[in-house]
Structure 1
Amino acid sequence: MIQSFLNYLQYEKRSSPHTIKSYKKDLEQFHEFCLSQFPLGTETVVLETMDYEMIRSWVIQLIADEISPRSVNRKIATINTFYKFLLKKGVIEDLPTRKLQSLKYSKKLPNFVKETEMEGVFETGFPEGQNYSMKEKLVIELFYGTGIRLSELINLKVEGINLNTRVLKVLGKRNKERMIPINDKLLELLENYIKTNELSQDNFLITTDKGKKAYPSMIYKIVNNYLSLYTTSGKKSPHTLRHTFATHLLNNGADLNAIKDLLGHANLAATQIYTHNSIERIKKIFEQAHPKA
């Protein structure tokens, strides 16, 4: 049933490859636990006959193994979705995860680069003596200038860029399209890059040196190497620049709903976390300026 479930995610739910890979890993881990603790036979029999207490014992084991609450909650969500699928297909008659609750934990605020640091980045430009290509510069500008996700950048094709209307069309989660405006500097860089670079046969905008489609670790390396020159902020990843894009927009008065649409969030709750960064900034200003603080 695991493979049937994964097919359901891919073809009916249109989940991303990353999501499917995570679900597969969680289910395989759960399956191994079941076989070791409740050896009832084949994969189908084991997973179909698990009850609440059995599933809860796996969660307890994860906690005992010091798995982070965030990771445990993701695994709980995987199991819950899997059994809802079995219920929907009529394989089981009741949902064994009905009483299963997520763990409580303190949410970390999104890591982002300070506005002054980003200003320094673009005022200074790419440092002399460093062998940065136009492609690497474009990667940084795309993340900070549009807030797109890593997967969206990797799958971005030239036909998704309209230089005349200054709009970028990206394919987000669950194949949802959204339009993002292109700023002046990014527009100039895109024009030069498309004009002077030989693009891949599949027309992907960002490729390897051999003309193949870019891959995550390649993009992570570009972002980490570059941000390390300019900022002391913790994590230096594509998602850091996405968080930076959203935080800076909010700090400069952008409407939260507009930011939600630009980021491609399904609901406003996912976007509201950026308001915490703004509140923290206001608190610091208050503490520094108010005589009674």
Structure 2
Amino acid sequence: MSLDAFLSYLSLEKNYSSHTLSAYKRDLEDFTAYHEEAFLTPDIDKTDYGSIRSWIVELVGKGLKNQSVNRKVASLKAYYNFLVKIGEIKTSPLKKHKALKTEKKMGVPFSELEMQQVLVQIPFENDFEGIRDKLIIELLYATGMRRAELVNIRMQDVDLHQSTLRVIGKRNKERILPMLASIVESINTYMIERNKLESVENNEYLFLTPPGHKIYETLVYRVINKYLSMVSPKVKKSPHVLRHTFATHLLNKGADLNAVKELLGHSSLASTQVYTHNSIAELKKAHLKAHPRNKK
């Protein structure tokens, strides 16, 4: 009963996606199954930290990465915080838990040359899909938005006169992004082809498939992977790497960290600072090249 109430709370009050809800449900069901096998009861509402700790040890022993273990424990932590909130328990058993250490691995960003090549030299087809795919790449690189944010852009979110774009990010947070003149031009070109579609089922969304349906996240990944593979030997080619590229290139050009934070939709500066290591590398190269004390 508590699990159903928790999932309803995440859906109705937190506006979590169905994908996120499924992940929470799966993590809690996994712990419940472990708890029943190890302690002969499926009731996890009043368990203690020792029981959760033994589950963590088992997960690590099975070879699960620390990052994955932390995500599962985060699901439990949210559940117990919910139980505290509704008065089912007084204190969360995970109140003093410290997450396992993880290495923050970022995909190597694309270079400015690679982005120039994919947007200028690649011969995109001059049809609906070709024009749409190029706009997807342009928009992700020019704004740094998340893949889910791009998929859910509605027609009413696009203001071509003001050159701005409204996106809804994590936790249903709204932000307004500026658009370059080239992006406005590309949207206008795309709209000409979009208006030619015979069947437009979800016409409130900006990006559609040829049959007129709303695009989906896997399609966006395929687009990025397909075209960036033509110009880049990098192993990881994804929408998130393009987001990383956006932030890195802005910081390399001297953009303010707080401004980049706002553009990315991060809630804290710490989330944005992970993008600075490449910027620092560029600063070091510039310093070594220009400083008079550097021995040639």
- Superposed pair shares fold, TM > 0.5: yes
Contact 2:34-2:55 within 8 A present in 1 as well = yes
Cα deviation per residue 1:218-270 (whole Å; 9 max; x = unaligned)? 11111111111111222111111111111111111111111111111111111
After TM superposition, the score normalised by the length of structure 2 is 0.90
Q: Distance in 2 between matches of 1:112 and 1:22?
A: 28
Amino acid corresponding to residue 262 of structure 1 in structure 2:
L
Amino acid corresponding to residue 102 of structure 2 in structure 1:
Y
Amino acid corresponding to residue 176 of structure 1 in structure 2:
K
Contact 1:200-1:207 within 8 A present in 2 as well = no
Residues 65 and 235 of structure 1, relative CA distance in 2, 3 Å threshold: same
Q: Give, in angstroms, the shift of residue 165 of structure 1.
A: 0.8
Contact 2:201-2:213 within 8 A present in 1 as well = yes
Residues 16 and 166 of structure 1, relative CA distance in 2, 3 Å threshold: same
Q: How does 1:118-157 map to 2 (within 5 A)?
A: 118-126=115-123, 133-157=130-154
1:279 pairs with 2:273: no
Residues 34 and 228 of structure 1, relative CA distance in 2, 3 Å threshold: same
Q: Distance in 1 between matches of 2:183 and 2:225?
A: 20
Q: Distance in 2 between matches of 1:158 and 1:37?
A: 53
Contact 2:7-2:25 within 8 A present in 1 as well = yes
1:109 pairs with 2:106: yes
After TM superposition, the score normalised by the length of structure 1 is 0.91
Q: Describe the SS at the equivalent of 1:14.
A: coil
How big is the alpha-carbon RMSD for the aligned residues of Structure 1 and Structure 2? 2.3
1:83 pairs with 2:90: no
Greater relative contact order (Cα 8 A, min sep 6): structure 1 or 2?
1
* Residue of structure 1 equivalent to 2:49: 52
Q: Describe the SS at the equivalent of 1:180.
A: strand
Amino acid corresponding to residue 251 of structure 1 in structure 2:
N
Identity of aligned residues (%): 43
Residues 90-99 or 47-56, more deviating: 90-99
Contact 1:143-1:242 within 8 A present in 2 as well = yes
Q: Distance in 2 between matches of 1:14 and 1:8?
A: 9
* Residue of structure 1 equivalent to 2:231: 230
Runs of at least 4 residues of structure 1 off by over 6 A? 128-131, 287-290
Q: Distance in 1 between matches of 2:190 and 2:130?
A: 10
* Residue of structure 2 equivalent to 1:92: 89
1:258 pairs with 2:255: no
Unmatched segments (≥5 aa) in structure 1: none
1:180 pairs with 2:181: no
Aligned length: 289
Q: Distance in 2 between matches of 1:19 and 1:127?
A: 34
Cα deviation per residue 1:172-202 (whole Å; 9 max; x = unaligned)? 1122111111112211110011122135444
Amino acid corresponding to residue 95 of structure 1 in structure 2:
S
Q: How does 1:158-177 map to 2 (within 5 A)?
A: 158-177=155-174
Q: How does 1:170-209 map to 2 (within 5 A)?
A: 170-198=167-195, 199-209=200-210
Q: Describe the SS at the equivalent of 1:169.
A: strand
